[in-house]
């Protein structure tokens, strides 16, 4: 389902002119998000290890596994912005995600996702949707051509009909 956005419906987040360089969690690899995920449907999620919503990792990994062959990628951005619920080091976060939830989808470095200090990628998502994350596990859905097509609160579970329908429509 399309979202009416502050920048207009289906605002472009990624284009050939946009460069959002991000380093992979606990690694040296740096990705230009718009280049690496060009042509993919992307679900962007701010995550935390010590949150009531943390079990959503299971559902996010299931989405990634079920739809990756059709072109979906889930990308996670650990954030300590809400209740200090992601206090660990990158290695601690990576180990927790892999060992506890079997997370294989790409995870990036700890990121500020709200306010004046927010990362430019998250500022663009918030401006386009009119919604900055209000808590951990807020989700943004981007189309294959880098347009914002949905913004989903933390309360929208990964397997919810609303989110699955939006993903399937974007695929």
In the chain, where are the structural domains located?
Answer: 21-170
What is the torsional sign of CA 78, 99, 25, 84?
positive
Q: What is the pTM of this model?
A: 0.93
Which entry of 14, 34, 51, 97 is annotated as an active-site residue? 51
Sequence-separated contacts (24+) of 4-7 with Cβ below 8 Å: 4/130, 5/128, 5/129, 5/130, 5/148, 6/127, 6/128, 6/129, 6/130, 7/127, 7/128
Find the Cα–Cα–Cα–Cα dihedral 76, 62, 72, 137, rounded to 10°: -30
Q: What is the pLDDT along the chain (171 residues), one digit of tens a residue?
A: 344 333 444 667 887 667 799 999 999 999 999 999 999 999 999 999 999 999 999 999 999 999 999 999 999 999 999 999 999 999 999 999 999 999 999 999 999 999 999 999 999 999 999 999 999 999 999 999 999 999 999 999 999 999 999 999 999
Helix axes 56-67, 90-101, angle to 10 degrees: 70
Q: How far is C-alpha 116 from the geometric centre of its chain's CA atoms? A: 19
Known catalytic residue at 97 = no
Q: Which CATH architecture has domain 21-170?
A: 3-Layer(aba) Sandwich (3.40)
What residues pair up with 45 in beta bridges, in sequence order? Answer: 76, 139
Q: Are 72 and 40 in contact (CB under 8 A)?
A: yes
**DSSP per-residue codes, 59-120:** HHHHHHHHHGGGTEEEEEEE--TTTT---S-HHHHHHHHHHHH---S-BB-----SSTT--H
């Amino acid at each position: 389902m399309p979202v009416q956005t502050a920048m207009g419906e289906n605002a472009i987040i990624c284009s050939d002119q946009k460069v959002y360089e991000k380093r992979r969690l606990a690694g040296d690899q740096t990705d230009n998000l718009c280049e690496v995920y060009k042509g993919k449907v992307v679900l962007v999620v701010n995550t935390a290890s010590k949150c009531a919503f943390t079990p959503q990792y299971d559902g996010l990994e299931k989405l990634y596994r079920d739809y990756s062959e059709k072109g979906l990628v889930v990308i996670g951005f650990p954030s300590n912005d809400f209740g200090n619920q992601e206090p660990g080091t990158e290695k601690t976060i990576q180990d927790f995600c892999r060992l506890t939830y079997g997370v294989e989808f790409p995870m990036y470095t700890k990121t500020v996702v709200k306010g004046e200090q927010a990362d430019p990628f998250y500022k663009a998502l918030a401006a386009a949707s009119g919604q900055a994350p209000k808590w951990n596990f807020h989700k943004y859905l981007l189309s294959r051509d880098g347009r914002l097509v949905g913004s989903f609160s933390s309360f929208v579970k990964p397997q919810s009909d609303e989110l699955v329908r939006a993903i399937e429509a974007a695929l």
